[in-house]
Amino acid sequence: MSQIQTVADAVAAGKAKLVPNLVQEALDGGCAAPEILNAMIDAMGLVGERFKKNEIFVPEMLIAAKAMKKGVEVLKPHLAGDSGAVCGKMIIGTVAGDLHDIGKNLVAMMIESAGFEVIDLGVDVSVDKFMAAITENPDVKIVGLSALLTTTMPALKDTVAALNEADFRKNIKVMVGGAPITQKFADEIGADAYTPDAASAAQKAKELAA
């Protein structure tokens, strides 16, 4: 079995203690960091499939998420450089009612390495919290919103609607993403950009801030 597959299997099985060493071994063995990351993302997809089929339950999803996060910690220096924040500020968060943060964290990491100072508001972020953060950071260039649940897509819509009504909106671009989000939905709710993954989010953020 390849080293990358071993990492992916350990993530899917929620082996949080083993994953960091396995990731390090894969890196030492010459595997590329983005390839390892992609395999770990696929492993989380598999976890989701198993959950959908009732083969596993929330606790197993949670330990897989913990294993994934431990692996990302080891990968981070190999994926993201110290950019020096030359592109400006970005605020990011997972919308109200939604606790998923792995994808949002990856997006934040890639955007930071693309040259932004990222203010991460975490998960379950209310409209008021986004608004307060923008008020505290009037020089922010982009606000990024993540949603992983079909049931939190309305919260994403409400957050974008509130941003669109605010005076500061003309100076701020709004990016959205997350597994259930599509370009069509982003257009419907009035976001400036949708991207399907972390790498394209970083690219798009640079374009929007230029």
Taking CB under 6 A as the binding criterion, the range among 18-26, 55-63, 114-122, 126-134 that sits at the site for ligand B1M is 55-63
**Least CB distance from residue 180 to ligand B1M, whole Å?**
6
DSSP character at residue 146: E
Number of residues that bind ligand B1M (CB under 6 A): 39
Please, what is the minimum distance in Å from the beta carbon of residue 197 to ligand B1M? 4
Among positions 97, 115, 154, 190, the unique one binding ligand B1M when judged by CB under 6 A: 97
Closest approach of Cβ 59 to ligand B1M, in Å? 8
Helices (H), 80-182: 102-113, 127-136, 153-165
Which letter does DSSP use for residue 98 in this model? Answer: -
Which residue of the chain is nearest ligand B1M when measured via CB? 103
Rule CB under 6 A: say whether 43 interacts with ligand B1M. no
Interface pick for ligand B1M out of 16, 22, 26, 47 (rule CB under 6 A): 47
What phi, psi does 46 have (nearest 5°)? -65, -40
HSE (side-chain half, CA atoms, 13 Å) at 73: 12
Cα–Cα nearest to 158, from 96, 86, 71: 96
- What 3-state DSSP class applies to 62? helix
As a dihedral over the C-alpha atoms of residue 114, residue 119, residue 120, residue 125, rounded to 10 degrees, the angle is -130
- Asked if 182 contacts 191 with a C-beta cutoff of 8 angstroms, the reply is no
- The beta strand positions in the chain, using DSSP E, are 88-94, 116-120, 140-146, 173-177, 193-194
Examine residue 65 and tell whether it contacts ligand B1M (CB under 6 A).
yes
Return the residue of 29, 32, 62, 187 that touches ligand B1M, per CB under 6 A.
62
| Phi, psi dihedrals of residue 16, rounded to the nearest 5° | -60, -30
Question: Which region among 12-20, 100-108, 114-122, 129-137 touches ligand B1M (by CB under 6 A)?
Answer: 100-108
The least distance separating ligand B1M from the CB of residue 120, rounded to whole angstroms, comes to: 11
146 binds ligand B1M (CB under 6 A): yes
Which residues are at the interface with ligand B1M (CB under 6 A)? 41, 44-45, 47-48, 51-52, 58, 61-62, 64-65, 97-104, 106-107, 144-146, 148-151, 175-180, 195, 197-198, 201
